[in-house]
Amino acid sequence: MSTHPFHQVDVFAPRPLAGNPVAVVHDAEGVPDERLAAFARWTNLSETTFLLPPTPEGAAAGADYRLRIFTPGRELPFAGHPTLGSAHAWLAAGGVPRQADVVVQECGVGLVEVRRDADGLAFAAPALLRSGPVEDDVRAQAVAALGVDPDAVLDLAWVDNGPGWLGVRLDAAATVLALQPDFATMGDLRVGVVGAHPEGGPADVEVRAFVPSLSVPEDPVTGSLNAGLALWLTAAGVLPPSYVARQGTALGRDGRVVVTTGDDGRVWVGGATLGLVEGVVEL
């Protein structure tokens, strides 16, 4: 057994208990993979992360730390809310980034920049590993799994930056909120759904994320999905360069994801991070 510092951070949370929690274990070097996976199953959160020193290659490229990200079902090469929550925990534990106000994370998709400013933390959306049109059979499966009127489906696209996201754009936020998916029909698909709120609504768009194949039927607030949706829909001119997404409403949460596009065209995905639990864990 080994003892490790531990944080639990509420991410994309405008107030405590409104966002998506992530469990963060520090100094996890040397812990066997099966123990990491077992702890992630035990926490039963959408994701549990483990902070380690960067690899020599990562350190040479400027990484401040390396992150491994586990769902209860498998390890992921990248995920958004764990990236922000882990950066929060690393800074709270005394981590000092090499670049002022920019933390560089090494993970399965490479290096990810996390900036901090007066509004909180934001990560630079990584490039999509898969994008573009969706095959007809996959479209039919997704529409059937969502149980939505096909006329309410405005567009679909692959927006995969690691977890395997399929993006579905619906005609309205109300349609998004009314979904009651059939997870058996969804199978291995990881489906993210977005619909616009009317002007003056609580946010610009409503988002939901369904990932039953990762033992997370619905994720409360999802950074990687929002990053993929942002790259897709801002490039298409459907959404403005900067906007706010609400997610978690159907689960009793009230997450807020702030998307901004810099002058250089880079898309940043951020929000508030709140440390709610701190202690030690035995692995």
CA dist 123 and 165 (Å) reads 18
- In whole angstroms, give the CA distance from residue 35 to residue 70: 11
Other beta carbons within 10 angstroms of residue 96's beta carbon come to 9
d(CA 68, CA 157) in angstroms, rounded, equals 27
Residue from 132, 175, 183 nearest 153 by CA: 175
CA distances from 93 to 88, 90, 132, 174, 240 (A): 9, 5, 41, 41, 36
The catalytic residue positions are 47
Dist. CA 156–CA 146, nearest whole Å: 13
- DSSP character string of 51-100: EEPPPHHHHHTT-SEEEEEE-SS-EES--HHHHHHHHHHHHHTT---SBT
Written as one letter, the residue type at 225 is: L
Nearest CA among 93, 7, 113, 105 for reference residue 55? 105
**Distances from the Cα of 230 to the Cαs of 123, 127, 173, 257, in angstroms?**
13, 11, 16, 11
